[in-house]
Structure 1
């Protein structure tokens, strides 16, 4: 099986797992950590161009699991995290990881945040090494083994 096919299958599997837990994923902490993760993946290479920002925002609003929250609220939070990361990537990365870490004590939410990062990273068919690295870093922040997610 080609790498692209495995990546696509893995992202679809993760999305399916997220959908089964949708009713458990309604907290404000999950919402914030998810948007922080989406911004971190979008800015993984140190910048976010307007087209990429729009593409990720579109993926967020079409994600079934995230429909528990108003789309405009998700967009506002995502944009705020992206702004932090683009203003000063290293400082913003620390702040974003802190917000991701707020779900550490809720295993279902923590795993869902990582899965959302993988789904967003793989949505364009190229879950590149920079995206994998930031998702791996989020795993460490959440005290989850990256190997659990094939990272």
Structure 2
């Protein structure tokens, strides 16, 4: 199986798992951590490209798992995290990882945040090394083993 096919299948499987758990994913901590995770993936290479930002914002507002939250609120939270990362990537990354860590108390939410990061990262068919690295860091912030997610 080609790499593209494996990435695509993995993201589809994770999205299906997230949809199955949707009713358990309604807390503010999950919302905040998910938007922070999306911003980390969008800025994984150290900068926030406007096209990447738009693509991720569209994926967020169209994601069925996040549909219980107001789209404007999700977009604002995502943009705030992107702004932190754009202003000073190293310092912003610490702050944004703290937001990700908000989901640590609930293992199901923590795993869902990581899955959202992987889905967002793989949506373009290229879950690259920088995206894997930020997802791995998010695993540590959430007290999860990155090997569980193959990152």
- TM bin, normalised by shorter chain, reads over 0.9
Q: Does 1:27 align with 2:27?
A: yes
CA RMSD of aligned residues (A): 0.5
Runs of 4+ in 1 over 6 A off after TM superposition: none
Give, in whole Å, the separation in 2 of the partners of 1:138 and 1:50.
23
Give, in whole Å, the separation in 1 of the partners of 2:120 and 2:93.
17
Report deviation, 1:27.
0.5
Report deviation, 1:49.
1.5
Where does 1:13-92 land on structure 2 (aligned, <5 Å)?
A: 13-92=13-92
Counterpart position of 2:133 = 133
Give, in whole Å, the separation in 2 of the partners of 1:147 and 1:104.
17
Counterpart position of 1:150 = 150
Question: What 5-or-longer segments of structure 1 have no aligned partner?
Answer: none
Q: What TM-score do the two structures reach when normalised by structure 1?
A: 0.99
Give, in whole Å, the separation in 2 of the partners of 1:131 and 1:52.
12
Q: What TM-score do the two structures reach when normalised by structure 2?
A: 0.99
Report deviation, 1:105.
1.2
Give, in whole Å, the separation in 2 of the partners of 1:51 and 1:130.
17
Question: What 5-or-longer segments of structure 2 have no aligned partner?
Answer: none
- Aligned to 2:8, what secondary structure does the other structure show? helix
Q: 1:113-141 deviations in whole A, cap 9, x for unaligned?
A: 00000000000000000000000000011
- Aligned to 1:104, what secondary structure does the other structure show? helix
